[in-house]
Amino acid sequence: MQKGESVKIGVVGLGRMGLPFCERLLGAGNIVVAYDVDPARRALAVNAGASDACSAREVGAVVDVSISMLLDSATTHTALLGDDGLLVDAAPGHVHLCMGTVGMAGAMSLAQAVEDRGHRYVDAPVSGSASSAQSGSVLSLIGCHRDLFDQAREIVRPLSAAQIYLGPVGHASAAKLAINAVVSATHTAVAESLNLSDALGVDRTLVYAALASSAVSSPYISYKRDGFLNPTTSPVLATVRILHKDVALALDEARNVGCPMKTVAATEELLGALGADGSWDLDVVSLLPYLAARTRGA
C-alpha cells in the first residue's frame, strides 16, 4: 500500500470513535464496508458513503484490511472470531487493526488467536477523544511485526496526527495504558483543584486560564476546558465507564508484574464511585459536580 493509495477497508464498531474514523477513511477516498450491532449507527455510516454489512462476517468476506473500535477484548474477540465474526470468511492473510483499548494481555491473546487462523493482527490503539477522532488528531500507537508497520501507518494516517511504532504486538496497548494512567490522574487532579478554588470563591474561568498557562499545561487540559467550565451542559466526549475500564485495565497489568500504582488506584476508586452514583455514561467532567456536592457547605 502506497501513501495516498485508495483501499477497501472494513470498519467494525461505529460508536463515538468508530463512526468518525469511518467518515475520515471515506473522506480520504477509501471504500468502506461498515458494521455495528446498532442499525441506527450503520445508517449513519451509510449516509456518509459507506457500504452496509449485516454482520462482521459479511465485512470480512469482502475486504482484505479491517479495523475495529470496540469496548474491550471480549467484545473484540467475539466480533473477530465468533460464529459471525469478521475473520470467519476472510481470505488468508487478512490484516486487522484493533484500535480499541484491550490491554497488553488482551492484545497478545487476540493476536495469537488471529494469527493461528492464518491472518495478521496489528495492535493499534489510539489516544484521544471523540472530538479528536472527528478532527483526525488522535495519536495512533502501533505494535506489530515490523514489516506490517508501513501498511498500518498508511491505513491510520487519515485518522491521526501522528503514528508511533512501539514494537511488537502488546507494546502499543501497554503504552496506551500508560497514557491513560496519566490522563486519569491529571483529570482527577484538575477536578479536585477546581473544586477547591470554587469552594474558596475564586472565579473558575480565571483559575482554569492560570492552569492552562502554567507548568502543568497540556493538550488534555486545553481540550477539556469547555467541559470543566460547563460540566453539566458539555457534550459527552469520553464517558466515565470508558475511563474507568481503561484505568482498571492498567491496574490489572500492574498487579500482574507487581508494579505499585497508588495514584491510579485512588483514581479508579473515585471513578467507580462516580459511576455508581449514576454517571457511568456521562462525560468524565461530571466528576467536578460530584465532588462539589460532597464538599462541606455545598
For residue 297, the model assigns a pLDDT of 57
For the chain, the first-to-last Cα distance in angstroms comes to 59
In a shared domain, residues 54 and 198? no
Do residue 66 and residue 180 come from a single domain?
Answer: no
Is 233 found in the same domain as 187?
Answer: yes
Q: Whose CA is closest to 96, among 11, 197, 198?
A: 11
- Adjacent-strand bridge partners of 52: 34
CATH assignment of the domain containing 36: 3.40.50.720
pLDDT digits (tens, 9 = 90+) for 130-174: 999 999 999 999 999 999 999 999 999 999 999 999 999 999 999
Q: What is the pLDDT of residues 91-126, one digit of tens each?
A: 999 999 999 999 999 999 999 999 999 999 999 999
78 and 119, same domain (yes or no): yes
Q: What is the pLDDT of residue 296?
A: 81
The residue count of the chain comes to 298
Please say which residue of 112, 134, 167 terminates a domain: 167
Q: pLDDT value at position 204?
A: 98
Q: Of the residues 149, 167, 185, which one is the last residue of a structural domain?
A: 167
CB 35 within 8 A of CB 60: no
In a domain, 298, yes or no: no
The string of pLDDT tens digits covering residues 190-214 is 999 999 999 999 999 999 999 999 9
Please tell me the predicted confidence (pLDDT) of residue 75.
97
> What's the average model confidence in pLDDT over 12-21?
97
Same-domain status, 67 and 213: no
Q: Is the pLDDT of residue 242 over 90?
A: yes
**Mean pLDDT across 239-251:** 96
Q: What is the pLDDT of residue 5?
A: 64
* 252 Cβ contact partners less than 8 Å away, ≥ 6 residues apart: 103, 105
Q: Which domain holds residue 202?
A: 175-293
- Both 102 and 228 in a single domain? no
Q: What whole-number distance in Å separates Cα of residue 269 and Cα of residue 138?
A: 27
What is the rounded average pLDDT of the residues 260-269?
A: 97
| Tally of domains within the chain | 2
Predicted local distance difference test score (pLDDT) of residue 116: 97
Q: What is the pLDDT of residues 23-43, one digit of tens each?
A: 999 999 999 999 999 999 999
User: What pLDDT is recorded for position 266?
Assistant: 97
The CA distance from 239 to 15, in Å, is 12
Percent of the chain with pLDDT over 70: 98
Containing H/E element for 260? none
Q: Helix/strand/coil (H, E, C) string of 63-115?
A: CCEEEECCCCHHHHHHHHHCCCCCCCCCCCCCEEEECCCCHHHHHHHHHHHHH
Output the domain CATH number for residue 222: 1.10.1040.10
